[in-house]
Every structure is written in C-alpha cells, then in structure tokens.
C-alpha cells in the first residue's frame, strides 16, 4: 500500500514538523496502525558499533513518529 501526502513532495524543516501539514495528516491517520514494539530494521552507525538493539528500536520509533 502506498500513501501520498499531497500532490508533490513537501519541503520542510526537520526541527519543525509543523511545516509539513499534509505529512502530519497522513501520520495521524496511520498512527493507530503502527506496531510500537516492532523491532527496527535499520540502525544508526552508533547503534551498530555498540550492537545496541534498544537504541536501534528507540531510533526506529522516533523516525516513525517524526511527523506526530
């Protein structure tokens, strides 16, 4: 399934997700479908260096919730 937030990709500020209202609307709609305890499939270089699974999972949750 593919979800589209607007007619064109949006440009916004990583520090202010409020600059992307269409992305926020899609995130709100999909939030109930998230699996909050699902393990991350990718890790940052720092988490890989330490083999820190919990850090990788925290990073995954933060990435998924970035438009909340």
Residue range 35-49: mean pLDDT, rounded? 66
Q: Across the chain, what does the average pLDDT equal?
A: 79
**Any domain includes 59:** yes
pTM for the structure as a whole = 0.66
Q: How far is CA 11 from CA 19, 23, 57, in A?
A: 8, 10, 27
**Any domain includes 33:** yes
Q: Number of structural domains, the chain?
A: 1
**Any domain includes 45:** yes
Q: Which residues contact 13 (CB under 8 A, 6 or more apart)?
A: 19
**Any domain includes 2:** no
**Any domain includes 1:** no
**Any domain includes 50:** yes
**Any domain includes 25:** yes
**Any domain includes 9:** no
Q: What pLDDT does residue 29 have?
A: 92
Residue range 38-57: mean pLDDT, rounded? 67
- Contact between 16 and 30 under an 8 Å Cβ cutoff? The reply is no
Burial of 18: CB neighbours in 10 Å, binned 0-12, 13-18, 19+? exposed
Is the pLDDT at 45 greater than 80, yes or no? no
pLDDT digit string, tens, across residues 8-35: 988 888 677 678 899 889 989 999 988 7
Write out the residue range of the structural domain in which residue 26 sits.
17-64
């Amino acid at each position: 399934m593919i979800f589209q937030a607007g007619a064109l990709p949006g440009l916004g500020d990583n520090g202010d997700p409020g600059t992307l209202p269409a992305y926020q609307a899609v995130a709100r709609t999909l939030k109930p479908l998230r699996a909050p305890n699902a393990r991350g499939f990718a890790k940052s270089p720092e988490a890989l260096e330490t083999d820190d699974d919990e850090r990788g999972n925290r990073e995954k949750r933060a990435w998924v919730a970035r438009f909340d």
